[in-house]
Amino acid sequence: MNAHVTTKAPEQYVPIPEVKCVGIIGSGQMGSGIAHVIALAGYEVRMNDLAKERVEQALALIDRNLTRQVSRGAIKELDAKAALKRMSYAATYADLGDCDLVIEAATEDEAVKRKIFAALCPSLKPTAMVASNTSSISITRLAASTDRPEQFIGMHFMNPVPVMQLVELIRGIATEEKTFAMARRFAESLGKTIAVSEDFPAFIVNRILLPMINEAIYTLYEGVGTVDAIDKSMRLGANHPMGPLELADFIGLDTCLSVMQVLYEGLADSKYRPCPLLVKYVEAGWLGRKAKRGFYDYRGEKPVPTR
């Protein structure tokens, strides 16, 4: 995604005293981006995933992205090196035991997330706060799978995290005010802007964005326009920086489908029915950029529409 990296200098970040160490569960696109901004803001970061290789790959990606920011003059080389030194691998949940905050950034699957929280919480100190980066799933239900629903909150970072300014904060029914206040201060210490959402399916951003993407896929499915025509129309006709099908590939078609399913099941309205073509692409394993194929084929020098 072509966008400007935040120009806020790292020395302007002031870490909040209540948080010194942050655990991240999941080192994929979102987890690595969240780790990047948290380490750059001065916090210690411990990254956990199913395999050490995944964390090593994430750290290598973060290193490249920090180097890119240095080359653009967005941050200083010393700050980039310091951020990398603040990040480490956590082999088990026990290695997150002294973290003040743990952010879950695993796949957008409620069963997976609930299993993580049930296994994680016994390893945490009583004062630790837990957050989910879910983009659509009920915070109240996820909190109920923990031993600390009062200290649980939704912190939905936008993708790509080092670039996008917004964090959605979502309280569950049991979330205490002090948890919400600490989460707000923490997000703002990262240089982010906050939008507060009620705990409804897909919150604010994806409640609006994903049905638009789904409608673009229906437009393709029904033969109204080609991939190129649809994306060109929204870029040049609506001044969107990226066409909806290109954006779907960037997000991941599996994630798009998961959010649409949450909306469809949670709101019981046929307007949220996932497009059959989206389902077909996911079943084929054509998940977008990360799979090298989606609505575009990324295996060559230049992306080529697949329809």
Average of per-residue pLDDT across 215-239 = 98
pTM assigned to the model: 0.90
Residue 200: is its pLDDT beyond 50? Answer: yes
Q: Is the pLDDT of residue 234 over 60?
A: yes
pLDDT tens digits, one per residue of 80-92: 999 999 999 999 9
CA 143 to the chain's CA centroid: 18
Catalytic residue flag (residue 239) = no
pLDDT at site 204: 97
Mode of pairing for the β-strands spanning 152-157 and 304-305: unpaired
Q: Decide if 193 contacts 166 (C-beta within 8 A).
A: yes
Phi then psi for residue 156, to 5 deg, are -95, 100
Instruction: Tell how strand 166-171 and strand 152-157 pair up.
Output: antiparallel
Q: What is the pLDDT of residue 43?
A: 97
**Per-chain mean pLDDT for the chain:** 94
Q: Which member of 65, 132, 133, 135 is catalytic?
A: 135
Based on the residue annotation, tell me whether 206 is a catalytic residue of this protein.
Answer: yes
Q: Is the pLDDT of residue 199 over 90?
A: yes
Rg (CA), the chain: 19
- Catalytic residue, from 32, 138, 159, 206: name it: 206
Q: Average pLDDT in the 98-119 region?
A: 96
Give the residue-averaged pLDDT of 155-178.
96
Which DSSP letter does residue 285 get? T
13: closest CA among 161, 182, 166, 191? 191
Sign of CA dihedral 204, 207, 212, 213: positive
For position 11, what pLDDT does the model report? 55
Residue 92 to residue 103: CA distance in whole angstroms = 15
- What local confidence, expressed as pLDDT, does residue 7 receive? 44
State how far the alpha carbon of 30 is from the alpha carbons of 22, 186, 209, 252, 276, in Å.
15, 17, 18, 11, 26
In the predicted structure, residue 219 carries a pLDDT above the cut 70: yes
pLDDT confidence bin for 56, thresholds 50/70/90: very high
What is the mean predicted confidence (pLDDT) over 58-79?
95
Of 3-12, 118-127, 277-286, the range with the lowest mean pLDDT is 3-12
DSSP 127-190: T-EEEE--SSS-HHHHHTTSS-GGGEEEEEE-SSTTT--EEEEEE-TT--HHHHHHHHHHHHHT
Query: Assign residue 289 a region: left if phi > 0, alpha if psi is -120 to 50, beta otherwise?
Result: alpha
Catalytic residue among 156, 159, 197, 258: 156
Q: Find the distance separating the first CA and the last CA of the chain, reported in whole Å.
A: 22
pLDDT surpassing 70 at residue 1: no
Identify the structural domains of the chain with CATH numbers, from first to last.
Answer: 15-197 (3.40.50.720), 209-305 (1.10.1040.10)
Catalytic site residue 135?
A: yes
- Give mean pLDDT, residues 134-153: 97
Q: Is 48 a catalytic residue?
A: no
Which one of the listed residues 168, 214, 246, 258 is annotated catalytic?
A: 168
In the predicted structure, residue 249 carries a pLDDT above the cut 50: yes
Integer angstrom CA distances of residue 55 from 26, 60, 103, 109: 8, 9, 15, 20
Kindly state the average pLDDT of the residues 207-231: 98
Give 268-282 pLDDT, tens digit per residue. Answer: 999 999 999 999 999
